[in-house]
Amino acid sequence: MKKLFAATVGILVLCLLLAFGDYALNRQTNQGGRRTVTIYNWGDYVDPALISKFERQTGYHVDYETFDSNESMLTKIRQGGTNYDLVIPSEYTVQRMKKEHLIAPLDHRKLPNLRYIDPQFLNRSFDPGNRYSVPYFWGTLGIIYNDQMVNSRDVQHWSQLWNPRLKNNVMLIDSARDVFAMALITQGDSVNTTNYHQLRKAQHHLKQLTPNVKAIIADEMKMYMEQNEAAVGVTYSGDAREMMSVNHHLHYVVPSEGSNIWFDNMVIPKAARNKAAAYQFINFMLEPANAAQNARYVGYATPNQKAKQLLPKRVTADRAFYPPRTTMKHLQTYRDLPLHVLGEYNDLFLEFKMFAK
């Protein structure tokens, strides 16, 4: 009986030890989870020095992963099983993620530094009241040109790209929405039109541009423009700034009649494991000194009005990257269009690309 009692006591003690060990392991793992924030962002889209600074100030470890398109990011979030605490999608993707219930509403009481954002960049159509997103960077679609090959006054407006003097000298970004945007604007239509007749009309207008089209490409445009391979390119403001830093004969202009204005934004996924850390990181990036440092590193325009005051005047006075309000009021944000309409854009664009070869 004593042996049986001793064995029973031994088993109970062993069970308690195992239970305590499991508890301690789980507690340690959970603590480790609480001390890590996982960020999913575009490549090279934050100053690494700021990551280190955040880690020193908060004690969190930052696990930083990157994506190369909104679509690839969205696919991964939809699949589930991810532990991203903070993601940086573009405006139309924020709209889609809201529809699909993939992101959490924000508690603005936890975001005191939101007050530094310029009011003109808040309450945009893709997220009224900024219930789900906080502006990170913004930029435009515009025209980059080489002053050795074309006069500046001849490339201030979209319609001027159809000038026969630019034969075989225009490069287009390989994007249906962006190429159709410039054609739609020249005919007075919205860049978000769902009217198939307007899209066909824009395609017909683009086909008239084909004698001037040298190439329809993506990142390769940077190299070609930097090496004086074409007079004009249709590209994004951030890419333009990068090209201009290499070739000082390049200049960027946003047509005053209108263009696309895009926003990349910080959002917290519904499946985030560490929302407290995500809020801390958002507030950290909204600190004016940090936002200004990040803008200098990345090269895009900051929506943070206090950070803008800390940037060099030669940057903030550049009307190509911080356009005047007269131009800003004509800029349009892409909306998340129905899938069948996006299919129409893509099909018509593909036909145009085949025609332009």
For residues 64 and 95, state if they share a domain. Answer: yes
Residue range of the domain that includes 273: 35-138+263-316
Is residue 273 in a domain? yes
pLDDT in tens, 280-329: 999 999 999 999 999 999 989 999 999 999 999 999 999 889 999 899 99
- Residues 177, 70, single domain; the answer is no
306 and 177 within one domain: no
Query: Does residue 108 sit in helix, strand or coil?
Result: helix
What's 253's domain CATH number? 3.40.190.10
Does residue 11 form part of some domain?
Answer: no
Structure token digits, residue 193: 């039109």
Q: Cβ distance 126 to 94 under 8 Å?
A: yes
Per-residue pLDDT of the chain (357 residues; tens, 9 = 90+): 333 334 444 444 444 444 444 433 333 333 444 489 999 999 889 999 999 999 999 999 999 999 988 989 999 999 987 889 999 999 999 999 999 999 999 999 999 999 999 999 999 999 999 999 999 999 999 999 999 999 999 999 999 999 999 999 999 999 999 999 999 999 999 999 999 999 999 999 999 999 999 999 988 999 999 999 999 999 999 889 989 999 999 999 999 999 999 999 999 999 999 999 999 999 999 999 999 999 999 989 999 999 999 999 999 999 889 999 899 999 999 999 999 999 999 999 999 999 887
pLDDT at 118: 97
Residue 15 lies in a domain: no
pTM of the predicted model over 0.85: no
Q: How far is CA 335 from the centre of its chain?
A: 14
121 and 145 together in one domain: no
Task: Kindly report, residue by residue over 34-77, the tens digit of the pLDDT.
Answer: 489 999 999 889 999 999 999 999 999 999 999 988 989 999 99
* Same domain as 226, residue 296: no
Residue 17, in any domain of the structure: no
- Give the full edge-to-edge strand order of the sheet including 61-67: 61-67, 36-42, 86-87
Euclidean distance between CA atoms 315 and 321, whole angstroms: 8
Residue 203 within a domain? yes
Q: 122 and 110: one domain?
A: yes
CB 54 within 8 A of CB 85: no
pLDDT for residue 39: 98
